[in-house]
Amino acid sequence: MSKYVYGRLELVLKSLMLRRGHQLPHTNSQPSSHTQAPSRGDRGPSAYLSSSVYRLNRSLPQRIRGSCFSIMFRNSYDSDNTTFSPQGKLHQVEYALEAVKQGESIPREAEEVVAHIPQRSTGELATYQKKLIRIDDHVGVAIAGLTSDARVLSNSMRQQAMSEKMLYGRPIPVARIVQGISDKAQMNTQQYGRRPYGVGFLVIGQDETGPHLFEFSPAGTAFEYYAHSIGARSQSAKTYLEKNFESFENASLPELINHGLSALADTLQQDKHLTIANTSIAIIGTPDASIENVAASGPAKRGFFRVWENDDVDQLLRAWRRSRGEPEDGPQEEQPQAEGQAGEATEGEGQGAGTTGEGAPPAEHAAGEDVTMGE
């Protein structure tokens, strides 16, 4: 059982935040300064995006960018959390950031935060690793990295959210709950004997000041974004988001979902495709009756955190493929022969079989099963 969360992309698009009257971005990208989430109206979103990319690139030494552990060389300054290297780096913290990159990235759109997360199971008999966690009705996180650390941190967030609700009778402001875990994570980077948390979050939420999207990293930093993606191969998603974010402002919820799925699809490996088996979507924000049954869903009616996964994602995936002019059923993959294949549960074939269905009959039937073994 892998201890890493192998989701694919976590993308977040903060379009509806833009919709609320913020100015369109102007392209004065700031140099990478490690400032906190800016006060409203100060800068355009492009500044955030580009500076976020800058931050990510510059924080890692060149030799470990793009990630394979085997090419990193160890040095004598990296075994101890409380020892700086001569270059002024804390290597343990940077290695913790690597753990986040092992997890896969998550696209998100704030306000209607659509987290598109590929799920993975280790086999036919195992459940999928849960990547979307509800902290409170108005706050959710998507995780990338060590799931055990994610569980502890998300539990701590839930306690904080609950405490604020009880003591003050209000939902906790999103920036503050993120600040809470950031402070907690920073403590682990400054004490001897403690290791940094090995998980990164994309935190989505909505409070009185509108929708928010934050990236939390094991270094104890938290930055706010209009759209973001973290994890493995997240750069392709970021590229897509940067290219398209101007249209997010006036996009409807279905359009935002399609953007997220497109960004997510950009990060997939060569022969992989988005299927109901490997995609899940979470949303916070005002519901859209065209894609959700508002009357039947309490959370949807109130704009609370809700997740679509497995079968529920099918309609959304179809709408997305239609919007790209692709066949609705998804790519037809090579059908493996029945004999001897039952034992194999390779993800590619599982997904392929799940999405292709049986050709002529409507694919709903096949799509109704999580993973069908190829016939």
Q: Considering only residues 208, 270, 325, 337, which one is a binding residue for another protein as defined by CB under 8 A?
A: 208
Position 296 contacts another protein (CB under 8 A): no
Position 168 contacts another protein (CB under 8 A): yes
Contact 139, 179 (CB under 8 A): no
- Measured from the CB atom, is 48 or 240 closer to another protein? 48
Q: Considering only residues 175, 204, 251, 282, which one is a binding residue for another protein as defined by CB under 8 A?
A: 175
Chain positions 127 to 156 lying near another protein, rule: CB under 8 A, are 152, 155
Q: Which two structure tokens, joined as six digits, stand for 51?
A: 């500076």
Position 88 contacts another protein (CB under 8 A): no
Position 20 contacts another protein (CB under 8 A): no
- Tell me whether residue 243 is exposed, middle or buried, using C-beta atoms within 10 angstroms of its C-beta: 0 to 12, 13 to 18, 19 or more: exposed
Across-strand partners of 212? 205
In order of 144, 149, 324, the CA distances from 3 in angstroms are 11, 10, 35
Position 186 contacts another protein (CB under 8 A): no
**Which region, judged by CB under 8 A, interacts with another protein, from 33-41, 63-71, 232-240, 328-336?**
33-41
Give the closest residue to 142 by CA, choosing from 7, 317, 311.
7
Contact 106, 231 (CB under 8 A): yes
Q: Is the four-CA dihedral 239, 242, 243, 249 of positive or negative sign?
A: positive
Position 184 contacts another protein (CB under 8 A): no
Position 167 contacts another protein (CB under 8 A): yes
Position 193 contacts another protein (CB under 8 A): yes
Position 42 contacts another protein (CB under 8 A): no
Q: Considering only residues 209, 269, 290, 346, which one is a binding residue for another protein as defined by CB under 8 A?
A: 209
Please report the beta strands in the chain, taking only residues with DSSP state E, as ranges in sequence order.
10-13, 107-109, 115-117, 132-136, 139-145, 199-207, 210-216, 222-224, 227-230, 280-283, 306-309
- Measured from the CB atom, is 75 or 191 closer to another protein? 191
Q: Where does this chain bind another protein (CB under 8 A)?
A: 36-37, 39-40, 152, 155, 159, 166-170, 173-176, 179, 191-194, 207-209
